[in-house]
Structure 1
Amino acid sequence: MAARSIALKALLNNCRRENTRRLIADRINKINPENPHTVEVFLKLLQNTQDENTALLSAQSLGEMGNKKLEVVQTLLDLLVSTPERRIARGATSGLKKVFAADGLALLVTSLKGYLNDDTWENNFALYRYAYELLWHCASRMPYPDFYTLWHSDEIEEEG
């Protein structure tokens, strides 16, 4: 098993085709989900590829990894909020929709709720739309009391 992982890493480092790099990173992730190198590869592919399919599949792989690694969810969130490129934002959103773990959903709600406002609507409608879409994703997968508490957490802190 270790020899296969080492061989795939060597192949990954020498491969120039983006789609092949994504497939190799995906295989490495299946063999060894704790390998930090795969997160780096998927992020580079998402940020640098011109191929829409490669970007989406890389983002989805990252989202699936985010169920076990909260820092991957945070990285996708940061990418979504900071990128001016819709292709990357779409990919990050697609990846974040793969998150089902409770702590990942909680992070999405607390991070994105602040973007549903008039300012974001007027100045960055794409971000507003993606935040709305992801918040619905969270609401449909969380118990209502948990979602409500996270949504109103700022108000509860101010009252307390």
Structure 2
Amino acid sequence: MSAGFVFQRENAGKLLQEIDSFSNNKLKLRIELQELLELTAYNSKFDEFENLIFTAKYIQGLMRVVKNAIENPEISNLKQIQADLSQNIEKFYQQLRDVIANSDESLKYRYEKDFLELSSESFARLNSLMLDLEWTKMYFNSLKRVN
């Protein structure tokens, strides 16, 4: 798979501003998103980042389906959806580790602690990060429609 986008590390801040503007200032973890953008550009991990933002968007969609399914008992395949959600969260963990693999040890430690530990606080932060990455995916998708 070839990334549909390429950007320079020094443009990560500008790109972050464009994504934040696109989201109507809904980004929650701007610093972490900028770090991921910079790491992606610095290490030329565009394919890995594209996979990460795709999976984040997919997970957010599944989470909305699960929420609606809980409220709507007519949805019959909830167990299958939950299994797909669990599998994709594991996939996301690995994709995030792939994107940060070449970073310094302190950043890797912080991401493991903040996003990848098995705790409710970590999962809440992970969900916020996935929401920001979903906005990133939607932003890149909007650029494809314009071009």
Give TM-score, length-normalised by structure 2: 0.27
Give TM-score, length-normalised by structure 1: 0.25
